[in-house]
A and B are shown apart, each in its own frame.
Chain A
Amino acid sequence: DAGVIQSPRHEVTEMGQEVTLRCKPISGHNSLFWYRQTMMRGLELLIYFNNNVPIDDSGMPEDRFSAKMPNASFSTLKIQPSEPRDSAVYFCASSFQGNQPQHFGDGTRLSIL
């Protein structure tokens, strides 16, 4: 079975550029999560979707960050404009229901120069 698929795996870009991260959840899962992992702050939940609807975006750090889920099989996390402090590994996870075990993708390692 295909797991959660994220792209790209690595992204290096210059400060000020727009960055778009993509995620394909596991088929049949109705909950999708975006996390950010850094050495300083560990794993932080950015946003949670249920049935394609954003339920909790309290973890989104600033207005520069936005996330969409146009359908059950695709989500994007966009940063515009990007800043060096956004450098981190961004994970997408999905679950059958919101409180069921979450399955993680391999992440996108983002470096903003």
Chain B
Amino acid sequence: KQEVTQIPAALSVPEGENLVLNCSFTDSAIYNLQWFRQDPGKGLTSLLLIQSSQREQTSGRLNASLDKSSGRSTLYIAASQPGDSATYLCAVSVDSSYKLIFGSGTRLLVRP
């Protein structure tokens, strides 16, 4: 059974710092992996999607990497800003279907 773990559960950093969020999964046979952002009282917004054949994806200050063999993904946020404060969730799709298995998220606070 696929399980997704995110460590740490919470992170607080000063503005301007580069940071890394971690996601691990138990079964390397994934179809893709997504990183989502969730703001308080809001739904999830998809940030980056990495197909199983890819190693990384970039969008602005965000870079997500995928190492299937080790069951790990990282989300790198460069030059963090207070507006980056949110909960970040990763989710894996175990086949080409619809089913996503979510981690419990990392709650990020960027202090001004």
Chain A residues proximal to chain B, CB less than 8 Å: 4, 31, 33, 42-43, 45, 48, 50, 55-56, 91, 93, 95, 98-99, 101-107, 109
| A45 cross-chain contacts in B, Cβ below 8 A | 99-100
**Is B43 within 8 A of A42, CB to CB?**
no
Q: Is the interface of A mostly helix, strand, loop or mixed?
A: strand
* Chain B interface bracket (under 10, 10 to 19, 20 to 34, 35 or more): 20 to 34
User: In the complex, what's the smallest C-beta–C-beta distance from B67 to chain A, in angstroms?
Assistant: 22
Tell me how many residue pairs across A and B have CB atoms closer than 8 Å.
49
CA–CA, A24 and B102, complex, Å: 23
**Is A43 within 8 A of B46, CB to CB?**
no
Q: Is B7 an interface residue (CB 8 A)?
A: no
Q: A31-B98, A42-B104, A48-B98 in contact; A101/B42 too (CB < 8 A)? A: no
Q: A99-B93, A99-B97 in contact; A43/B43 too (CB < 8 A)? A: no
Closest B residue, CB atoms, query A45: B99
**Is B46 within 8 A of A102, CB to CB?**
yes
User: In the complex, what's the smallest C-beta–C-beta distance from A78 to chain B, in angstroms?
Assistant: 21
Q: Is B52 an interface residue (CB 8 A)?
A: no
User: In the complex, what's the smallest C-beta–C-beta distance from A105 to chain B, in angstroms?
Assistant: 5
**Is B97 within 8 A of A104, CB to CB?**
no
Closest B residue, CB atoms, query A91: B43
Q: A43-B89, A101-B49 in contact; A33/B98 too (CB < 8 A)? A: yes
Q: Mark B80-99, 1 if CB is under 8 A from A, else 0.
A: 00000000010101001111
CA–CA, A48 and B8, complex, Å: 30
CA–CA, A104 and B103, complex, Å: 16
**Is B43 within 8 A of A4, CB to CB?**
yes
User: In the complex, what's the smallest C-beta–C-beta distance from A67 to chain B, in angstroms?
Assistant: 15
